[in-house]
Structures are given as structure tokens and as C-alpha cells.
Amino acid sequence: MSGTAEGLAQAYATRWLWKAAVPIALPVLAGLTVLLVPLAVLAAPEAVSSACSTGGTGATVAGIELDAVQMGQAQTIVNVAAARGLGPYAAVVALATAYQESRIRMLANDGSSSELTAEQAAVTATSLQYAHDGLGSDHDSVNTFQQRWIAGWGTPVQLMDPVYAAEAFYDRLVEVPNWQTIPLTRAAQVVQVSAYGSAYARWEPLARELTTMLWPAAQSTAANPGGAVSGVCPGLAVPAGSWVRPSTGTVTSGYGPRWGTLHAGVDIAGPRNTPVYAASGGTVTTAACTSAYCDRDGSLNLAGYGNLVELDHGAGVVTRYAHLSGYTVMPGQQVPAGALIGFQGSTGNSTGVHLHFEVRVDGAPIDPVPWLADRGIDLHAPNPA
Ligand SMILES: [Zn+2]
């Protein structure tokens, strides 16, 4: 395991692909006409195994009411502990910490703290571009654990990934001597470098009860990596109709005529295996290899989108995510905006690692840049690739 959230989910995605996706690869038309892939054929219904738990239901735990978003975040935190082979006590410490820091909500930060320089404020405010379920303004702190990019916890884009956030917490927890046996307060205090460690202990009954509730699902997820793709779920419930940036990276090619054909989307290039997120909530209609092969990079001589995820957002709006190195969703699955759906790769008709992102309205491609701009997302804005 790479030790990062992406690495963990990527390993699952790759295994899942090997098991299930390769046999349904379809021959496609030669040349650059990747737009003609018969998606209706690819979208044949398939059994959906475990659903992402993020869209779960609320519960009253140890006398505290938690809504579906908080329960989903809690499940992710518990899943990561189980997937790493840490005992349930690790999840107890993490949940008590997350409740104290954020009430177990993924908090973005607008950078309004007077402690920040203008430059630090601008970087901190990039957290707003990623799916979140609340706003905080404490220094440069973001996410469920209120981790700080200035303090070396990761880049804002990494920290806004709930799985990365949990991984980062556990990375530091396991470095605390005797973390399994010392009081929760001390362990959490060391990890968080907090002067107010005693506050964490207050939430220990909540954290213990939550762990008892969520651990069985986390364990079955960890025991069956093939099904864990959707179980380790960094997705966030954000308000219905919200849109988020689908991936970090630089826009390298826009929508419009290219090489004698229509480039029906926008290319966003980041490092290999950069996470790709659902731009908005919807139903997965395609998650498949659409080229002759997807187990390695493609080329201009290979037709098709490579590994493709297509989401149906209703009202005739569809988005496509192409050339993925792997994907983490299955057809039929419902995903919220900001859900991890795959990773940037170079499968199919592609010569370099990037995300080819399309927006289609009633079947016809439109330019994603103004579409997203109208929804508050500037693809050309600097972002932490
Ligand atoms: Zn493209």
C-alpha cells in the first residue's frame, strides 16, 4: 500500500478492473472518432455489490444526533482503519478527534483568518473548490480533522479528500508510542498537536459506540478488496445540484475542432493517478474499458475512451470521464458530487496522462468550461495539481 488514500483505493480499483472490467471490453471504431462509442451497449445493467455508504442514513449515537453526511464521513474514517489493519481503537481515537474538530464534517476554509498572509489565504481558499459539507475559518485548517497544509499535513486538494485525511491521521497516530494503550486524550493530543487535548475525551463514548456500529461493515470491506472499491468511499454528500471540479491539473486542450474532428471535451492533466471526482451527483451508467485494452496505456492508434465512467445527472445532463487508469464505481451506483470515481490515466486514444471530461446535454457535447463556470467552477483557475 502506498500509504495514501489514492493508493489504497487505486489498488482496489486495479484489482476490480482485472476481475470484472476486462471481459466486457468492446471493439470500437478505428481512428479518432471516439465519440461514436455505443454507450448504450456498455451501460447494460450489472449487479451492484456494496454501495458507497456515504449516502447512508442518520442515527442517534450515545445521545448525539448525527445526520447522513456525518455518518458517511464516520464510516470512511472507520473503513480506513480497518483497511490498514489497525484495530477498532484507532477508529475510536480518530472519531473522537474528528467530532471535536469538525463534528465529523468535511470543512473547507475560505482563508478569512487574520493569522494568514494574503498568499496563504488564497491557497487555503482553494479548499472551497472541492466537495465539502461545511465551512471553517481556523487558520489554514480544513477537513474532518482540521489538518493544516502549512503544517505539512498535505496539499489542500489532498486534505479535502476524506480518505486522505483519515490516512494522514492514522499515519501520525501509529507513530505515537503505545498509542493502543495510552488514554485517548493523550494519543489524540499528540497527533493533533493540540493544547486542548482534554476536549477529545468528552467524545469517547460517542466514538466507541460509533465504532461498534460501523466496524463490521468496515471489516467486511477490508476482507474483500474487490468489493471495497465502493466501500472505501471518499465521496461527500453536498447539496443536490452542486457541481465541483472533477480533477486537479492543467487544462491542456479545450473543447472544439481538433485534428479534423470535434474534441468533445476538455483535457485536464495532472500526475498519473490523480483522483477524479463526480462533477455532480448522479447515476453511474458506464464504468468500463471501452477500448481493445485498458490494462496499459493506449496510443493514438488505439480507438476509444479507454477506461470510461459516465454519469447521468438527470434532465438530459450527462458527464463522461475518459482515459482513466482505473475506476472505483459500478454501473447502477448512485454517487454524490465529489465522490471519487477513478484516477487520471492514459488508457484508450491518448498520448499522455490526463482526464478527458465531457458534458453532454440531450446527447450533444457542449463546452465544459463555460458550463462549469456558470456553476462556480473555473477550470483555468490555479489549483494544486
Ligand atoms: Zn480530450
pLDDT at residue 49 is higher than 50 = no
pLDDT at 89 over 80: yes
Distance CA 309, CA 286 (A): 5
Which pLDDT belongs to residue 51? 36
pLDDT, tens digit, for every residue of 355-375?
A: 999 999 999 999 999 999 998
pLDDT of 57 reads 58
Structural contact between residues 145 and 105, judged by C-beta atoms closer than 8 angstroms: no
Residue 173 CB neighbours (<10 A): 22
Overall pTM surpassing 0.75 (yes/no): no
Q: Per residue in 189-202, pLDDT tens?
A: 999 987 776 889 89
Please list all protein residues whose beta carbon sits less than 5 angstroms from ligand 1, which is an ion.
265, 267, 356
Q: Could you tell me the distance, in angstroms and rounded to a whole number, from the CA of residue 255 to the centre of ligand 1?
A: 8
Q: How many angstroms is it from 30 CA to the middle of ligand 1?
A: 17
For the segment 210-230, what is each residue's pLDDT rounded down to a tens digit? Answer: 998 888 777 765 654 322 233
Residue 159 confidence class, pLDDT cut points 50, 70, 90: very high
* Residue found by looking up cell 475512451 in the block: 305
**How far is ligand 1, taken at its centre, from the CA of residue 28, in Å?**
17
Q: How far is the CA of 42 from the centre of ligand 1 (A)?
A: 20
Q: What is the Å distance from ligand 1's center to 132 Cα?
A: 28
pLDDT, average across residues 66-72: 80
Cα of 274 to ligand 1 centre, how many Å? 16
Q: Cα–Cα distance between 218 and 195 in angstroms, integer?
A: 31
pLDDT value, residue 55: 33
pLDDT at residue 277, rounded to an integer: 87
Q: How far is the CA of 246 from the centre of ligand 1 (A)?
A: 14
- Beta carbons of 324 and 347 less than 8 angstroms apart: yes
Contact 6, 161 (CB under 8 A): yes
Quote the ligand 1 centre to 268 CA distance (angstroms): 8
Average pLDDT of the chain? Answer: 79
Q: What does the alpha-carbon distance between residue 290 and residue 208 come to, in Å, rounded to a whole number?
A: 45
Calculate the alpha carbon distances from 169 to 117, 154, 203, 243, 344 in Å.
26, 11, 17, 28, 25
**Do 324 and 317 touch, CB atoms closer than 8 A?**
no
The arithmetic mean of pLDDT across residues 143-169, rounded, is 93
Q: Is the pLDDT of residue 62 over 70?
A: yes
Residue 348 half-sphere exposure, CB side, CA atoms within 13 Å?
Answer: 32
Burial of 220 (0-12, 13-18, 19+ CB in 10 A): middle
